[in-house]
Structure 1
Amino acid sequence: MSQARDHGGDHRPLLPFRQRMAGRRAAGRGASAPRRAVSQLTAGFPVVPVLIVSGVVFVDSLGGSGLFWLPLLAAGPALAASTNGPRGVLCVGLLAAVLGAMLGGVDDGVPGRELAVVLSALLAVTLASALASALRCRRERVLAAVRSVAEAAQHAVLQPIPQTVGPFRVAVRYSAAAAEARIGGDLYALVPTPHGVRLIVGDVRGKGLTAVGTAALVLGVFREAAYDEPDLLAVVGRIERSLERNLAPDDFVTAVVVGHPRPGELEVVNCGHAPPLLISASGDVAAVEPTSPAPPLGLRALVGEPPCLEILPFSDGDQLLLYTDGVTEARDRAREFYPLAEGVARHVCDEPEHVLSAVHDELLAHVGGRLHDDAALLLLRMQAVEERVGPGARAPGHVADSGSVRVVSRFRSVAGGSDGGRRRAERSGLALPSTR
């Protein structure tokens, strides 16, 4: 199953592993003392291997079949190698050897030479299983170290987002396609700046370490430029110039950059990405299509025109959902896309974390439990004045020239999922390679 991450109020997977385990231990503190004592006693004890050895001894004692059942004693230490350390394997092997010698030599009357062969084989299996157990424990320690590094990289690249930022309630849900992955090619960030709250959601073409490196590059440039540049288009321009210097010719990043320079409106710059979904205070869901489609970041040189900054009315109770194509292009067994807008409309409420939790669970159920592409969801809700616990992040920001600013007054109503990555590229007027 995919690793889900929620940087909002319900973001369990982003918590470090030790914190999650501490929470589970705290939840079990109400258990009785005898139960805890038994649990601690049996934690490292090879229960199943001992039961197998005991079962073989019981069957042999009933049947009295000589050497027929005794070789099965080797199943005990062999199984212990997958569940216990070398010491546990040796203990199970010693127990099996002692019981086998007693049964074969005393009860069944097995000749000494044949019994010695069986016990020698049991000893060889025990030693081989102990070696396999030692190697397994070593690999587990290495994997634990790698996971701790992945947790640190996750916090460095995809930094946790508070539940409340300025006038907004925020929730994030992220799922990496790889079951053991912590980060992938999808990216998001939200930062309060002197020019208002700014955020980005994007998708890097490709997968693996290269995509992670590109995502880290984009987020690093965005966090710096968001503080320095009063103009949101200048922030996008800084990212574009950095990608031109560092990306391969056929690589690109689709992204939506959003700013909140003043109350009642948002600035939106869409660079070849899926259109955000605007959820009004009344619960209506509409796609915010760009009036002037722009190419993805890293491909501006192909068209030579800068992206357009659009003004989006955004009042109290309104919500804006940004996502990546791993959500809308997720298919079920019938090859049907997940209808994101319909799912959001079913679960819309005043708690962004509850909305994303319900949508994410529905998405996993749609695909059968595992996503085949990274998926990110970020939901932004404007709080009413009486809901805010602190002053909103507002500062007069410089707006781009009127020639590159458009006020979005109409949106396309959505009855199903939005267009996929290939169709977004076609709306931009480009024939692009797949982001997969």
Structure 2
Amino acid sequence: MTATGTPRLAAQFAFLEEADRLKGVERANVLQDLSRPENSAEHSWHAALFAFVLAESAPQPVDALRAAAMLLLHDLVEIDAGDHPIHIPVDSEAVAHAEAAAAQRLFALLPEDLAQEMHALRAEFEAGQSTDAAYARQIDIIQPIFQVLMAQAPLPDHVEIARDNLLSGRAAPLAQSWPEAHDTALGLLNGAPLPDSDFARRLRFLSEADALKTVLRATPVLQGARPENSAEHSWHLALHALILHDLAAPGVARARIIAMLLLHDLVEIDAGDAPIHAAYDAAAQDAKEQAAAKRLFGLLPSAQGAEFLALWQEFEAAQTPDAIFAKSIDRVQPLFLNLASGGGSWREYNVTLAQLEQRVGGKVARGSEPLWAFARARVAPWFAQEAAS
């Protein structure tokens, strides 16, 4: 384990807490159920999931989770620079300048080594020259198009934007660079059913995954304005894994942690969220989640579905070093959201510090004792103040 004192952890969490603001950046895209606009954190999660899932259908071999890491980061600059829909003309030079300034401000919150790593990943993505970056950029282009076209009743103006994008916009080159993706999108655009192919099976799974954006959690977003949803939670956890990996035990694979956290809450599409501090039937919830995992991962090609199911089950069992650290990340992130929002779900469920230590502290410390020591030191004063009031 790398030596990590409190100043380093404080810097890492300053960045991760600032990143939470991406959940408030609205995009022009809407969810597949058309209920509301998508935000950039949800998009980043879904794009990273697309990269992970579609890698075996990619036009050339790629490091799927390295591309996913780029997509976890790629829209963070929108916290300062905003989103720029592809169908609205912009001053490209001004946007690039604003985004570069945003990246400089955001990554400067991190320790220097991590700042350099994140700058390099973002620069590689923006250049799009490496195989992994080119694939990540293809995903960033095609994911919103499939999000539109896989909806049960796509909005007509969004369909026309997708059409223009595929025929003459930035997605048009996919006809040569990734013909299966381009042809499948054109078929959907023209009313054809999905073909019987592994690519189509992966698309059905990814389309179903969109529903995770509608699953609400007990924990609020950082400023407490609304509940966090499970898709943006999954994005934030994967970003935590990218930034906090130096706290893991030797040999823990950052890419596998990110994979687990991208997938871990998909079962909530069927089973719903079960807040850790709420009273519920644990056996019944587990049965619902097991059934959900089998249904959802069963949408994929059989070998990939079995791989993802095994990865989800490994996370749930929390017996391997990778899963133990992934669980610690899953437990620590809500602490800081609750703290920043004046108590959040702790107030709702009348949680005490002793209960927090029992339900959360052990799991966090099992993955990283320094991480729990830092987190406990941050949250304990809030509980002391509550007890005194």
Fold shared per TM-score above 0.5: no
Name the one with the larger helix percent: 2
Q: Which TM-score bucket, shorter chain as reference?
A: under 0.3
Structure of greater Rg: 1
TM-score normalized by the length of structure 1: 0.24
Name the one with the larger strand percent: 1
